[in-house]
Amino acid sequence: MHIKYDPVRLLLVFDLLATSVFALEGALAAVQGRLDLLGLMVLAFATALGGGILRDLLIGAIPPNSIRDWRYAATALTAAVIVFLAYTHLSRVPSILILTLDAAGLSLFAVAGAAKALQYGIHPLLAVLMGGITGVGGGTIRDVLLARVPTVLRSDVYATAALLGAAVVVAGWKLNVRPVWAMSLGGVACFALRMAAVWRHWNLPTVVGR
């Protein structure tokens, strides 16, 4: 099993792609919060790497991957500089494109996070939660730093989609499906649920709404 679940190179590519998307979003949020260049870098770093760092601290992968490997920090900081230099162009990007890229990044993080937790011998229930934390942890830290209630706690089947993707990976591992299939299927499930929720304005029920 360990050999089957050692998709280090796959995780690296997944992680760097998702890192750049999340870093762009963090830097854009920093611009809207009227922060300076350094604020953009901090929020890009925290949004992109916060979820994975939190997961790694919790599963005992210390130092966290993105502290061990300089490419993550370099990717996040580069994204912040790009936003700083090209904000006028980036702010014209249609929001549906950003939502789509974000859903893709969320899927990649959730799936990779659950797989890594399984590799570290974490119980399946917790591995699902670790996938969710990898997906939404960075955005949560970003919102805490901007002193607002994290959007993931409020809206639109966002964390739920991450948990679904992670659950598919864990289920596949339980059923001895090949990791690459389980991870692909989990990513598609997360992406599809998130996009459907955006499109149809789905929300989870609240106590008041019941």
Distance of alpha carbon 4 from alpha carbon 173, whole angstroms: 10
Pick one of 18, 24, 48, 59: the residue that binds its own copies (CB under 8 A).
59
| Residue of 76, 196, 99 whose CA lies nearest to 151 | 99
Cα separation, 27 vs 119, in Å, equals 32
| Interface with its own copies (CB under 8 A), residue from 4, 6, 13, 63 | 63
Examine residue 126 and tell whether it contacts its own copies (CB under 8 A): yes
Among 13, 57, 93, 96, binds its own copies (CB under 8 A): 57
**Can you state the angle between helices 37-59 and 124-145, rounded to 10 degrees?**
160
Rule CB under 8 A: which of 134-153 touch its own copies?
140, 144-150, 152-153
Positive or negative: CA dihedral 155, 159, 161, 164: negative
Binding mask 165-194 for its own copies (x = CB under 8 A): ------------------------------
Contacting residue, 10, 58, 99, 195, with its own copies by CB under 8 A: 58
Query: Could you tell me how many residues make up the chain?
Result: 210
Show contacts with its own copies in window 81-110 (CB under 8 A): 83-84, 87
Which secondary-structure segment (H or E) carries 192?
helix 179-200
Q: What is the rounded distance in angstroms from the CA atom of residue 6 to the CA atom of residue 62?
A: 18
Binding mask 14-33 for its own copies (x = CB under 8 A): ----------------xx-x
Q: Write the burial class of residue 95 (CB in 10 Å: 0-12 exposed, 13-18 middle, 19+ buried).
A: exposed
Residue 159 interacts with its own copies (CB under 8 A)? Answer: yes
Binding site for its own copies (CB under 8 A): 30-31, 33-40, 42-43, 45, 53, 57-60, 62-64, 67-70, 73-74, 83-84, 87, 120, 122-126, 129-130, 140, 144-150, 152-155, 159-160, 163, 203-208
